[in-house]
């Protein structure tokens, strides 16, 4: 079998393919940028497009085929938790995070609550990261070598992202007693925060610090408005549907219902993070965050 050669250096073997210009590239033709402890971005030096392995791209995408769209990958987000070793990770996750919740109700349970929340957020970010670079299987659990950076860090990052997204609405709610007009402002900022939040989470997960740049986040939303609207509506439906279903299951059978509801909640968190990662993966060139 003849080797695939680089477009710019025919004497060298290609190791990546650009998802934008479809060029086969050797290592010399690729820019490599580290965006977090676990993730690097590889891009084409010529067009700036994202680079993927020639073999084993997402959903079996073959070299030479046009770039995969968000909508074509969206259905696979619901089977993503079961790919590869995902089923085992799913079971372990349900048991571990369920245990953290139960321990959280004990004296000094806030320690377990902080650890469980921080670790869950760290894993959420890792799923977004993994999906954003085209991986088709759930990532392994995050390492915990330093409590501050590995647990408190993700928790603090999510807290800041939430404050930036919904802080203006909360401030307006506090000021309603002084002037009723703040109620209208609170509703407006609340709606804007709901729209802003998913893209801000993507930016936070990719360690860009762009979540504090409303100008960049809002422009990014408009750049991918079609897929983003669909993703937001789907995420809202998942959250509401999961809450309602969980309440019904627990009412029918408290113990079995709790276990089932908790399992579904963890499953849908994975699906939600997968969808956010796919937004970036299929629109990285349009967003241009790392250029």
pLDDT digits (tens, 9 = 90+) for 114-124: 999 999 999 99
Q: What percent of the chain lies above the pLDDT cut of 70? A: 91
- Per DSSP, 45 falls in state T
Q: Which residue bears the tokens 């990958």?
A: 73
Q: Are residues 1 and 101 in the same domain?
A: no
Taking only Cα atoms into account, the Rg of the chain, rounded to an integer number of angstroms, comes to 21
Q: Are residues 138 and 201 in the same domain?
A: yes
Q: Are residues 78 and 216 in the same domain?
A: yes
Confidence of residue 159 (pLDDT cuts 50, 70, 90): very high
Q: Are residues 75 and 60 in the same domain?
A: no
Mean pLDDT of 201-223: 89
pLDDT digits (tens, 9 = 90+) for 59-109: 444 433 345 788 889 999 999 999 888 889 889 988 888 888 878 778 888
> Which of 19, 37, 68 is a domain's end point?
68
Q: Are residues 48 and 174 in the same domain?
A: no
Is 273 in contact with 131 (CB distance < 8 Å)? yes
> Which of 25, 45, 68 is a domain's end point?
68
- Per DSSP, 40 falls in state E
CB contact burial 5-19 (16+ within 10 A = b; e otherwise): ebbeeeeeebbbbbb
pLDDT digits (tens, 9 = 90+) for 11-64: 888 888 887 677 888 888 888 766 555 556 777 888 777 777 775 444 444 433
Average pLDDT of the chain? 84
Q: Are residues 63 and 205 in the same domain?
A: no
Q: Are residues 140 and 91 in the same domain?
A: yes
The DSSP annotation for 177-218 comes to GT-THHHHHHHHHHHHHHHHHHHHHHHHHTT--GGG-HHHHH
Residues 130, 138: Cα–Cα separation, whole Å: 8
Is 6 in contact with 29 (CB distance < 8 Å)? yes
Q: Are residues 46 and 110 in the same domain?
A: no
- Per DSSP, 138 falls in state P
Burial of 3 (0-12, 13-18, 19+ CB in 10 A): exposed
Q: Are residues 207 and 74 in the same domain?
A: yes
Q: Which two tokens stand for residue 83?
A: 């790919």
Q: What percent of the chain lies above the pLDDT cut of 90? A: 35
Whole-model pTM over 0.75: yes
For residue 223, is pLDDT > 60? yes
> Which of 17, 36, 68 is a domain's end point?
68
For residue 203, is pLDDT > 90? yes
Predicted confidence at residue 69, as pLDDT, reads 85
Q: Are residues 185 and 235 in the same domain?
A: yes
Mean pLDDT of 199-213: 88
C-alpha distances in Å from residue 210, one per residue of 97, 218, 255, 290: 29, 11, 42, 11
Q: Are residues 183 and 124 in the same domain?
A: yes
Total number of residues shown for the chain: 291
Q: Are residues 58 and 150 in the same domain?
A: no
Q: How many domains does the chain have?
A: 2
Predicted confidence at residue 35, as pLDDT, reads 53
For residue 201, is pLDDT > 60? yes
**Domain ranges, residue 64:** 1-68
């Amino acid at each position: 079998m003849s080797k695939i050669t680089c477009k710019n250096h025919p004497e060298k073997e290609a190791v990546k393919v650009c998802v934008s210009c479809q060029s086969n590239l050797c290592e010399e033709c690729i820019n490599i940028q580290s965006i977090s402890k676990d993730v690097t971005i590889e891009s084409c030096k010529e067009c700036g497009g994202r680079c993927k392995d020639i073999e084993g791209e997402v959903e079996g995408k073959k070299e030479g085929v046009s770039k995969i769209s968000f909508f074509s990958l969206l259905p696979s987000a619901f089977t993503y938790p079961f790919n590869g070793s995902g089923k085992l990770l799913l079971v372990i996750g349900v048991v571990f995070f369920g245990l953290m919740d139960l321990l959280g109700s004990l004296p000094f349970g806030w320690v377990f609550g902080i650890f469980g929340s921080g670790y869950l957020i760290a894993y959420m970010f890792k799923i977004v990261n993994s999906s954003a670079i085209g991986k088709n299987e759930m990532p392994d659990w995050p390492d915990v070598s330093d409590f501050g950076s590995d647990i408190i860090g993700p928790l603090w990052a999510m807290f800041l992202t939430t404050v930036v997204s919904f802080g203006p609405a909360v401030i307006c709610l506090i000021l309603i007693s002084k002037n009723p007009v703040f109620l209208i402002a609170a509703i407006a900022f609340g709606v804007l925060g709901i729209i802003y939040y998913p893209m801000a989470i993507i930016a936070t997960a990719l360690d860009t610090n762009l979540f504090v740049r409303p100008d960049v986040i809002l422009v990014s939303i408009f750049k991918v408005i079609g897929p983003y609207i669909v993703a937001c509506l789907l995420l809202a439906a998942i959250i509401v549907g999961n809450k309602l279903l969980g309440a019904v299951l627990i009412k029918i059978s408290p113990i079995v219902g709790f276990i089932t509801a908790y399992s579904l909640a963890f499953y849908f968190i994975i699906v939600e993070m997968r969808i956010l990662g796919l937004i970036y993966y299929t629109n990285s060139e349009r967003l241009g965050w790392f250029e």
